[in-house]
Amino acid sequence: MIHPDEGPDLQVIPRVTPGPTPAAVAELASYYGNGAALANPLLRANMVASADGATSYGGRSRSLSGPADRMLFTVLRSLADLILVGAGTVRTERYRPVQAAEIWAGLRPGDAPVPPIAVVSGSLALDPDSSLLTAAAPGAQTIVITTGTAPPDRRAAIAKRARVIEAGNDRLDLIAAVSALRGLGYRSILTEGGPGLLGHLAAAELVDELCLTTSPVLALGKADRVTKIPSAHTERLSLAHVLHDDGFLFSRYRRE
Ligand SMILES: NC(=O)c1ccc[n+]([C@@H]2O[C@H](COP(=O)([O-])OP(=O)(O)OC[C@H]3O[C@@H](n4cnc5c(N)ncnc54)[C@H](OP(=O)(O)O)[C@@H]3O)[C@@H](O)[C@H]2O)c1
């Protein structure tokens, strides 16, 4: 059981207003460190899981979400300089560039109206004609992060549409990838998963924060957990807050 008086950083909020009014958005953003609180480089993960730990249902995560989770999704995107996502999620969730209408302009950390999407892919099995690669807003060109040994024909086709970053030769080096993104000026990085990418990021000790929505459903089945990686590794997290709305829990964990 969580008591509101357990520490200065622990807050239990009775209810997140579900309607995306400017006041509700500003209140929600205040729990996730807007403005000066994001001055330091940050790699934050945002994931949703069912009460029994599934991160997808029928191959997608949409049915685990709800109004307040969707609002949090847009708030965290608005606070980010860049969105980092695995190629598996791009393929299954049919990712497209972030639209200005999906972003709360007043929360943007810099001058860029929308954060670009950066995709991690070793195989480069990505559709070069997809809107993700062809329809990004000016200043938010999609980035594809891959290895030096990725298939050259695929790389050439993608490089006509997106910025390609090489991180590692035989194996993708996520430490080098994040360092390259920081070198391009992206300080506040939001990863939206999926479990494969998040597992590799966590194993490389690159994840500073995990924002985890727990959805009030049992999904059963064999869906992945929030992280998927063969090697075992435990890391202690501290709980910054828990919010709740309509049975959904919104936990913000920090790596100690
Ligand atoms: N519940 C949630 O919040 C949430 C969020 C996102 C996704 N999802 C769900 O998760 C599923 C997709 O997740 P996933 O785990 O299969 O895929 P993923 O993590 O999105 O992407 C995995 C892919 O990313 C590339 N990659 C990531 N790390 C790499 C590394 N260290 N080295 C080389 N390549 C790397 C590889 O791409 P290549 O194969 O191209 O080499 C790999 O196959 C979908 O069902 C989606 O709906 C749920």
Question: What tens digit of pLDDT does each residue of 167-179 get?
Answer: 999 999 999 999 9
Q: How far apart are CA 12 and CA 4, in angstroms?
A: 6
In this predicted structure, the answer to whether residue 242 has a pLDDT above a threshold of 90 is yes
Mutate to test the pocket of ligand 1, among 143, 197, 200 (most ligand atoms within 8 A of CB): 197
pLDDT at 168: 97
**Strand order across the beta sheet in which 82-86 lies:** 12-13, 237-245, 248-255, 209-215, 42-50, 188-191, 82-86, 117-120, 143-146, 163-166
Please say if the pLDDT value at position 251 is more than 70.
yes
Which ligand 1 atom minimizes the distance to the CA of 223? 45
- pLDDT the model gives residue 18: 72
For atom 15 of ligand 1, the residue with the nearest CA is: 196
Range with lowest mean pLDDT among 30-34, 76-80, 124-128: 30-34
CA geometry: angle 131, 187, 30, nearest 5 deg: 95
Q: How far is the CA of 84 from the centre of ligand 1 (A)?
A: 11
Chain segment 146-175, per-residue pLDDT in tens: 999 999 999 999 999 999 999 999 999 999
For the whole model, what pTM was predicted?
0.95
Residue 34: predicted pLDDT: 63
Q: Average the pLDDT over 97-121 and give the result.
A: 93
- 140: pLDDT strictly greater than 90: yes
Distances (CA, A) of 44 to 5, 104, 187, 209: 26, 18, 11, 5
Only one residue has tokens 């006509």, namely 160
Q: Band of the pLDDT at 8, cuts 50, 70, 90? A: very low
Q: How many CA atoms, within 13 angstroms, populate the side-chain half-sphere of residue 193?
A: 26
pLDDT of residue 92: 96
- Binding pocket residue ranges, ligand 1, CB within 6 Å: 47-49, 55-56, 59-61, 64, 86-89, 92-93, 120-123, 125, 172, 174, 192-197, 200, 224, 228
Average pLDDT, the chain: 91
- Min mean pLDDT across 17-26, 52-61, 212-221 is at 17-26
Ligand 1 atom nearest to CA at 60: 47
Nearest CA to ligand 1 atom 40: 121
Report how far residue 79's alpha carbon sits from residue 73's, in angstroms, rounded to the nearest whole number: 10
- pLDDT greater at residue 228 or residue 20: 228
pLDDT at 4 over 50: no
DSSP assignment, residue 218?
-
Dist CA 18 CA 25 (whole Å): 9
